[in-house]
Structure 1
Amino acid sequence: MFQSWYLTCDTHYFLIVPFLTYLLWRKPKLGFLFCGILTFASLVTHFLTIYLNEEDPFLLLFMKVLRDPVLNKTFKTIYIPSHMRISPYLVGVIGGFVKFQMRSSAFKIAMRNVVFMWVIGLATGFAILFSSFLFYLPTENKDYTLHGFYGSFHHFLWSVCISALIVMVSENHGQWVAPYLNWRPWILLSRITYSAFLCHGGVQLYTSAIQRTPMYVGLFNIFYYAAADIVFAYLLGFCLSLVFESPILELERIILKKQFSTSKNIEETEQSHERKQDLKEVKDIYIPRIQKEISWNSYKL
């Protein structure tokens, strides 16, 4: 699977994220500081790598790249290294923590801020999405400063927009888009999206490898091949999820449920013991005092 390179990135992130989430939980300011430092370091590294090596801002998917992406310099130095991709991951971690804090503190976003965030978020997202074609245009003098800024910030800003969208919709500030996002078929597709991501690169590589004649590109052909690519990738992703991911998730659910039940029983036992201790203290302290008062009142009578 061509896209399985991302599993190494996930592994690297899983090694450091527990430490960051612990800091965010116990010492939020220090946790935010560490996340900010890592994000800034990733952005600067990304920019300098593109600018100094005169690289493309992202992997330009030409046919020669799809035939053998491993030979592409941008693929090796920009596209797959973990430190080049960690900033969106950290934005997601921070976004999840912000949502958790908002729920815990009953914090509400002011309506004027909601409107501002929607306008800026949508404008930024569409600008990132539709400006990428500029780097496909053939030019003699490339501006590698622009390459560096776009390459280092487009993933970061896109993840900020997505995180803000999730937070606002979950806080009932996106009723116009919430029914679409809560559409039940998306739940099924979301569970196999990662598996489809792992498979679809192989589908594209195979499609590119078996081409023996030039392909005519037209509007109908674009939609035709895109639809076939998406459907076939999700079918393979469904099979991959069914064979590997779902059994592992079920085992994890069983193990965690058992551990949760055990910890819950232990907690209930401890609480019961504490209640018994409290009751014993009440008996030892207050009952003799009450008996003494009753005896004294009886004596006075």
Structure 2
Amino acid sequence: MAFISVLIPFVLTIVYSLDALLLPYIPIIESLARNPTFQKVYIPTYMRATPYFIGMFCALAIRWANKNRFKLPKWLTIFFHVSSFLLLLFVCYSSWIFFRPGSPRSPLAAATYAVLARTGWSVGIAWQMFAPATGHGWWIGRVFAWRPLAPLGRLTYGAFLTHVGFQIHEVATMATPINVTVMYLVRNNFADFLFSYFLSTILFLSIESPLTGMEKVIFGSSGSGSSSRRPGMAQNGAYSLGANGQTLTAHPLMKVPGNGAETTH
């Protein structure tokens, strides 16, 4: 199934001569619903099924590693951390070749990037979840376990859901060309971050939190028994893997059993 999930986007991108990714150009944004890449790549779930399988495999790997007290040598842990960061950076910045004006269209190159970008990003994120959850966090695990970051773990998915809307609105309503400078990018990114998390907070307080309370009232609390207190579970925080195709969510408040700290959900 995992192989098929990789094969499907590769084949369809070539057959329909689709773009490697959804290009945020004004003509595309203005007619987004009719754009072939948006219709056949961005919307269908089967086009982004590979991250689901990688997330499930990572969850199973974490469970197995904690059960068997699996440990990697420190040099190999550092190697995997550095490699995962380089992989994530490569996925982000290699897309520039598809934004160059007048660059020749290659269906094979577009299909290869469409497959490897999602796979590479998911693998890089999966390691960053696996490592702290199994005691291989290095200094990154301490950052993820930092208490002030705990609220962001609750709001991350809401920010993912809300950030695209006003970004599309900004691009689609752009009436004149913009001189893009470093300061312009810094201001826009900071504004996007604040606005996304502001909307995510509203979603959390108005929808997720009340529904979670209702669920506990109706079905009862699952409790935090021995199932959430496995030996070796995250010296630097424990993590749950969300299979939404885009992100893996961290819950950094879960402490190591046996060190006197209570488990917080």
TM-score w.r.t. length of structure 2: 0.76
Residue in structure 2 matched with residue 77 of structure 1 by the alignment: 40
Residue in structure 1 matched with residue 23 of structure 2 by the alignment: 60
1:57 touches 1:150 (CA, 8 Å); kept in 2?
yes
Residue in structure 2 matched with residue 151 of structure 1 by the alignment: 114
CA offsets, 1:42-79, max 9 Å, x none?
A: 11110011122221111112233333421211111111
2:78 touches 2:138 (CA, 8 Å); kept in 1?
no
Name stretches of at least 5 consecutive residues in structure 2 with no aligned partner.
225-265
Tell me which stretches of 4 or more aligned residues in structure 1 moved more than 4 Å.
258-261
CA offsets, 1:186-206, max 9 Å, x none?
A: 221221122222222221233
2:54 touches 2:126 (CA, 8 Å); kept in 1?
yes
CA drift of 1:222 comes to 1.8
Alpha-carbon spacing, 1:220–1:158, altered in 2? closer, same or farther (3 Å)? same
Q: Distance in 2 between matches of 1:103 and 1:246?
A: 30
Q: Distance in 2 between matches of 1:229 and 1:41?
A: 36
SS in 1 for 2:192: helix
SS in 2 for 1:177: helix
Matched residue type, 2:209: S
Residue in structure 1 matched with residue 72 of structure 2 by the alignment: 109
Give yes or no for the alignment of 1:206 onto 2:157: no
2:138 aligned to which of 168, 175, 186: 175
CA drift of 1:216 comes to 2.9
1:55 touches 1:147 (CA, 8 Å); kept in 2?
yes
Q: Distance in 2 between matches of 1:207 and 1:115?
A: 40
Instruction: Give RMSD over aligned pairs.
Output: 2.2
Higher RCO (CA < 8 A, seq sep 6+): 2
CA offsets, 1:94-149, max 9 Å, x none?
A: 10111011112222224454244234323322211221111111245322212111
Find the structure with the greater CA-based Rg: 1
2:159 aligned to which of 171, 174, 196: 196
Matched residue type, 1:254: V
TM-score w.r.t. length of structure 1: 0.68
Map 1:122-133 to 2 at 5 A.
122-133=85-96
CA offsets, 1:213-267, max 9 Å, x none?
A: 3333222222222222221121111111111111112222333435779xxxxxx
Identity of aligned residues (%): 28
Matched residue type, 2:132: V
